[in-house]
Amino acid sequence: MKFFRFKPPLILDSGVYASLLSLQLTNKRNIELSILDSIRKRKAKSFITLNPHSVIEACKSRHTGNAYLGGDFFFSDGIGYSLGYRLLNGFWPKRLPGRQIYSEVLRICAFHNLNLLLLGGTGHSIVALKDRILKNYDIHVDALELPFFNSDEVECSYDLFEEIISKDPVVVLVFMTAPKQEIFSHKLKLKAELANKTLMIFNLGAVLDFELGLKLSAPRFFQKFGLEWAFRAATDWTHVSPRLSSAVLFLKMLFLKSVK
């Protein structure tokens, strides 16, 4: 495991693991329906993409697991997660990568004239993404740089949550690493519910880097067959190796569960 620069956790929550592999997954068509329904009911909802790395991160603590399981809509993003889902549930879920979700959300915001807020990255990158969106879509969009904090420090972000809600967005796109973005989004959703605010929160991770060309996107061939991980391993090994280690641990837990 040292080769992967990854130290496996001593204990993983198997209950969270089983729950994340038995979720009812949504699809691209349901994004618009979910947003419009939540606007009508004045609800706050969060959308989470799942892959082997995110599942293992969720299993490391009950606190993190609750943040994931507190989501409202889930997508399969990664061939490893889809494989696990297939083995335990009997069918392949349709994969929906983060960039497809991103494009669909922008289309919905433009069509229905919904206020959009971008969160994450440095001030330069998040503003650059805002400018890029404004060139291609007629959307009311704002951007807010998130300060650096560890996953355990999200509770200290109360004033930041208040600032986000005061901007009155309907859709929020969060660009952070897992599980930090899921913990942050879960807390933000709870604050929005207390304020009786409509808020659709999408956790999109590295989509910002791909959209701005800060990281190389996998060619269509790799994307079609769910092999983005192989392309990223070849082009960005330092950042991807911990995720591959998580994938190994994910498959190990899948094997132990399937033979029971």
Domain boundaries, the chain: 16-258
For the segment 229-245, what is each residue's pLDDT rounded down to a tens digit? Answer: 777 777 777 777 777 78
Which of the two residues, 168 and 217, has the higher pLDDT score?
A: 168
Q: Please, where are the H alpha helices in 113-198?
A: 123-136, 158-166, 180-194
Q: Side chain identity at 246, as an amino acid letter? A: S
When the pLDDT of each residue in the chain is averaged and rounded to a whole number, the result is 86
% the chain with pLDDT above 90: 53
- Which of the four pLDDT bands, split at 50, 70 and 90, describes residue 17? very high
Residue 192 pLDDT > 70? yes
Three-class secondary structure of residue 251 per DSSP: helix
Burial of 193 (0-12, 13-18, 19+ CB in 10 A): middle
For the segment 31-45, what is each residue's pLDDT rounded down to a tens digit? Answer: 999 999 999 999 999
Q: How far is the C-alpha of 120 from the C-alpha of 206, rounded, in Å?
A: 10
Looking at residue 124, the DSSP 8-state letter turns out to be H
- Which of the four pLDDT bands, split at 50, 70 and 90, describes residue 219? confident
**Element spanning 116, H or E:** strand 116-120
Averaged over 104-119, what is the pLDDT? 96
Reading the block at residue 227, the tokens are: 């092999």
Reading the block at residue 238, the tokens are: 């330092």
For the segment 123-181, what is each residue's pLDDT rounded down to a tens digit? Answer: 789 999 999 999 999 999 999 988 766 656 555 566 888 899 999 999 999 999 889 99
